[in-house]
Structure 1
Amino acid sequence: MKVAILGSGDAFGSGGRFNTCLYVEAAGEQMLLDCGGSSMVALNNAGIARNQLSTLLFTHFHGDHFGGLPAFLLEAQFVSRRTQPLTIAGPRGVEQRALQAIETDFPGASNNAWRFPITYVEVTPDAAATLAGIAVEAFPMVHDQRAGPCQGYRLVHDGKIFAFSGDSAWTDALIPLSAGADALLIECYTWDQVLANHLDYGTLRAHRADLGAKRIVLTHMSPQMLAHAEELPEEHAYDGMVLSL
Structure 2
Amino acid sequence: MKLTVLGCGDAFGSGGQLQTSFHVAPSGGSEPFLIDCGATVLNGFDRAGLDPDRVSKVFITHLHGDHFGGLVWMMLHAQHVTRRTAPLTIVGPSGLEARFRAATEALYAGALTYPRRFPMSFVDIEAGTPAVVGGITVTAYEVNHPSGAASFALRLEAGEGADRRIIAFSGDTEWVDVLCDAARGADLFITECYGFDVASRGHLSWHEIKRHLPRIQSKRIMLTHMGRSMLAHRSEVSEPNVVVATDGQVLEV
TM-score normalised per structure 1:
0.95
Give the gaps of 5 or more residues in structure 2: none
Structure 1 segment 15-164 matched on structure 2, within 5 A: 15-26=15-26, 27=28, 28-146=30-148, 148-157=149-158, 158=160, 159-164=164-169
Q: Which residue of 1 aligns with 2:191?
A: 186
SS in 2 for 1:35: coil
Decide which moves more: 168-177 or 185-194: 185-194
CA distance in 2, matches of 1:103, 1:75: 16
Q: 1:2 to 1:130 in 2, by over 3 A?
A: farther
CA distance in 2, matches of 1:97, 1:173: 26
Q: Give the superposition deviation at 1:22.
A: 0.5
Q: Give the superposition deviation at 1:180.
A: 0.7
Poorly superposed stretches of 4+, deviation over 3 Å: none
CA distance in 2, matches of 1:217, 1:92: 27
Q: Give the superposition deviation at 1:196.
A: 2.3
CA distance in 1, matches of 2:249, 2:123: 28
Residue 63 of structure 2 contacts residue 147 of structure 2 at CA under 8 Å; is this kept in 1?
no
- Residue 160 of structure 1 aligns with an amino acid whose one-letter code is R
Residue 29 of structure 1 contacts residue 132 of structure 1 at CA under 8 Å; is this kept in 2?
no
Q: Give the superposition deviation at 1:178.
A: 0.6
Residue 76 of structure 1 contacts residue 82 of structure 1 at CA under 8 Å; is this kept in 2?
yes
Q: Give the superposition deviation at 1:110.
A: 2.3
Q: Which residue of 2 aligns with 1:177?
A: 182
Alignment of 1:215 onto 2:224: no
CA distance in 2, matches of 1:229, 1:94: 33
Give the gaps of 5 or more residues in structure 1: none
Alignment of 1:243 onto 2:251: yes
Alignment of 1:226 onto 2:231: yes
Q: Give the superposition deviation at 1:149.
A: 1.0
Count of matched residue positions in the alignment of Structure 1 and Structure 2: 244
Residue 29 of structure 1 contacts residue 133 of structure 1 at CA under 8 Å; is this kept in 2?
no
Identity rate, percent: 41
CA distance in 2, matches of 1:145, 1:32: 20
Residue 128 of structure 2 contacts residue 141 of structure 2 at CA under 8 Å; is this kept in 1?
no
